[in-house]
Structure 1
């Protein structure tokens, strides 16, 4: 509680004499301060064990009184102890405003005691003591600010470790671990219900020049997002409120990310996030090269089947498109582009022709040639399914 202004010989005499008496009164002052703190807030008793509290206040007062009458070159044990006390109070969870309250009231008690001691021993020295008031309160301010700085630093470190622990729990859930109590611990750390409506989003992050930057969304009406980084994509666990679904989720994501990305179906709890993550990644894989869409798995199930079985996909391509693969690449691409346009247009040759900038008869001629090469008919449902799946496989696996 001492300052560092150069003092006169008279001031030194007054302070040293008063400090000697003050040190003898530290136990009584400690009892008095603890009584006042308890009256102000019961959190002091809840956060700090009584014996520890008494000892720490006694030590802090003793160091503060010693600093009051210390020389300029003396080590600041009061500040060292204030930093230690600030760290300890942060660990105990006592609010910072109560820590600072304790320092202010300790200063008031010591000042009142100083006035009483000097008035009793040397009344004529009161003007000298008043002259030193600003110095003393500057010391109190420095002690409290030192404690506050240590408190905030410790609190930030604790929060960082807590966040890292929660993120580790979330990663474990996304990996599909079934450790007992894992979902409950993550729910408590994330402030989420263990059972609820959740989806997982996988978004490929491509930071190439010219691409719109990926913007994480933390919250939107009806949604809370918890993002985790992977090597070449990011994953978000999304908590969905009642009344909102995957359609609304896709709309929110489209506003923040150009894609490509995949959205899992809704799962009923945190313990199911491993499954949801795998399904979201499958949905992402149904986005072919150059795709910039956020897609839902439930809208891409045939393609999802293809990308989930790469060996079967390769066999399907070879079986259905075998002769087609022997064509010149440009010729082959033209036929497959025509098939794709025809399928996207619901089997309408006229609309496909408009999309391809050609005559509808040209579309019919290309499709007939495709049927001849594959020995399949687009008019037979089973053949149409095979052709559609083979086209998806070719697009998504690169043939």
Structure 2
């Protein structure tokens, strides 16, 4: 009786094995559908070329079906193939959970096909199918574990390599004499197009220790386009290409809503990247005074003059003193400029009578010598106000005293009143 049951089970295994080998022969027809299902369920796989994807899936499916037919777990060579695939997906930027998800979809589709064919051939093979599933489960564990381990190793290596490349690339761009020739292969290695358009953003390094910057880089790396960040002394540079600048700023602010951000102009080529970094650094000087975001294309005048504030002090002394002693005068000048040079509109914004706004503009002219109703007087007034912010307007964590002094030494200015 036992012998008969054993022989029956063995026959069932052989029949299932024959079905598995039939499926191997049919893989050229099965694999495109399986790959299409994976790519439909996991859109991130669009970064993997279809031909490459189908080749990897065919190789693994062939090994799996032979393993099921032979009732064995994956061998050393098949495990090495899984490790190779794990490394490849890490280099292509496919998240590990999606790599494992693709394996699961493939195993599911092959199993469903095996069940369909088995039931069509002989419904009495159901018991043998249950035993076959235990072998399939051995394959799932035996393949996905080394694939994920290899993925993690490759990812760690990739992070180290990318961090080194970022530092070398930004060193080349920010040197006293930028080495644009050396920057070309580094740009390619980081995924940039050297002749494309670049935009830089600058942050204060002191507010972004290494662990926070690593997390920020992780968040930025999933955005559209290319975004890399690295500290360069007191300033951390975020260099983007074909990225949504507003979205990059939102990610930075999500990590630290009070973080000052300077945004440069979008400029072409590697020389443009160097210029955009300079733009962003100048804009950061303005952003530090508000804890907000300064765009060079909007604040270019104050940003360009910010590092000359000490030298320009004699020009702005009266305006700074007036803004300190009578901030409502400065408020009226700003409102007048921001509301179409209309006294009535400025008055509505400030909830004042138009005569009160006119009086304040005249008082500003008397105190500073600059008539805000004239072109030159308004430009000079707004520049002084952009360079000066009352101490209360500054964020508490804008910078440490040591860092501030170092920045001032670098700029060659003393800007006690222009903070």
Q: TM-score under structure 1 normalisation?
A: 0.51
Greater share of helix residues, 1 or 2?
2
Q: Is the 8 A contact 1:307 1:313 kept in 2?
A: no
**CA displacement at 1:158 relative to structure 2:** 4.3
**Which position in structure 2 is the counterpart of 1:360?**
354
**Which position in structure 2 is the counterpart of 1:68?**
none
| 1:143-172 Cα deviation digits (max 9, x unpaired) | x99x99997787566435422331222231
**Which position in structure 2 is the counterpart of 1:132?**
none
**Which position in structure 2 is the counterpart of 1:188?**
188
Using the TM superposition, name which of 151-160 and 272-281 deviates more.
Answer: 151-160
- Residues in 2 aligned to 1:205 and 1:367: alpha-carbon distance in whole angstroms: 40
| Bigger RCO (CA 8 Å, 6+ sep) | 1
RMSD: 4.2
**Which position in structure 2 is the counterpart of 1:250?**
246
**CA displacement at 1:190 relative to structure 2:** 0.9
* Structure 1 residues 205 and 187, CA gap change in structure 2 (3 angstroms): closer
Q: Is the 8 A contact 2:333 2:372 kept in 1?
A: no
**CA displacement at 1:369 relative to structure 2:** 1.5
3-state SS of 1:220 partner: coil
Q: Is the 8 A contact 2:202 2:281 kept in 1?
A: yes
- Residues in 2 aligned to 1:180 and 1:392: alpha-carbon distance in whole angstroms: 34
**CA displacement at 1:233 relative to structure 2:** 5.5
Instruction: Choose 1 or 2 for highest CA Rg.
Output: 1
1:394 to 369, 388, 394: 388
1:371 to 358, 365, 369: 365
- Residues in 2 aligned to 1:345 and 1:162: alpha-carbon distance in whole angstroms: 51
**CA displacement at 1:328 relative to structure 2:** 9.8
**Which position in structure 2 is the counterpart of 1:72?**
none
1:217 to 216, 220, 225: 220
**Total equivalences in the alignment:** 249
| 1:228-275 Cα deviation digits (max 9, x unpaired) | 24566642110127xxxxxx5235524652453122112222354332
**CA displacement at 1:280 relative to structure 2:** 0.7
The equivalences for 1:284-323 within 5 A come to 284-287=284-287, 289-292=289-292, 294-318=293-317, 320-321=318-319
* Structure 1 residues 271 and 315, CA gap change in structure 2 (3 angstroms): same
- Residues in 1 aligned to 2:290 and 2:311: alpha-carbon distance in whole angstroms: 24
* Structure 1 residues 149 and 366, CA gap change in structure 2 (3 angstroms): closer
| 1:162-221 Cα deviation digits (max 9, x unpaired) | 22331222231342353474222212321222211111111358969xxxx996432434
- Residues in 2 aligned to 1:332 and 1:272: alpha-carbon distance in whole angstroms: 42
| 1:273-328 Cα deviation digits (max 9, x unpaired) | 33221111111212253342x3321111221232031233322212x53xx72x69
**Which position in structure 2 is the counterpart of 1:95?**
84
**Which position in structure 2 is the counterpart of 1:203?**
203
Using the TM superposition, name which of 298-307 and 228-237 deviates more.
Answer: 228-237
- Residues in 1 aligned to 2:291 and 2:180: alpha-carbon distance in whole angstroms: 40
Q: Is the 8 A contact 1:313 1:390 kept in 2?
A: no
3-state SS of 1:194 partner: coil
* Structure 1 residues 228 and 359, CA gap change in structure 2 (3 angstroms): same
3-state SS of 2:203 partner: strand
- Residues in 1 aligned to 2:153 and 2:369: alpha-carbon distance in whole angstroms: 73
1:226 to 213, 225, 228: 228
Q: Is the 8 A contact 1:260 1:291 kept in 2?
A: yes
* Structure 1 residues 97 and 395, CA gap change in structure 2 (3 angstroms): closer
**Which position in structure 1 is the counterpart of 2:113?**
none
Q: Is the 8 A contact 1:169 1:182 kept in 2?
A: no
- Residues in 1 aligned to 2:331 and 2:349: alpha-carbon distance in whole angstroms: 10
| 1:329-371 Cα deviation digits (max 9, x unpaired) | 4x42222122222222222222222222322211111111121
Q: Is the 8 A contact 1:283 1:295 kept in 2?
A: yes
- Residues in 2 aligned to 1:97 and 1:302: alpha-carbon distance in whole angstroms: 51
**CA displacement at 1:226 relative to structure 2:** 0.9
- Residues in 1 aligned to 2:323 and 2:330: alpha-carbon distance in whole angstroms: 12
**Which position in structure 1 is the counterpart of 2:338?**
344
* Structure 1 residues 179 and 203, CA gap change in structure 2 (3 angstroms): closer
**Which position in structure 1 is the counterpart of 2:115?**
none
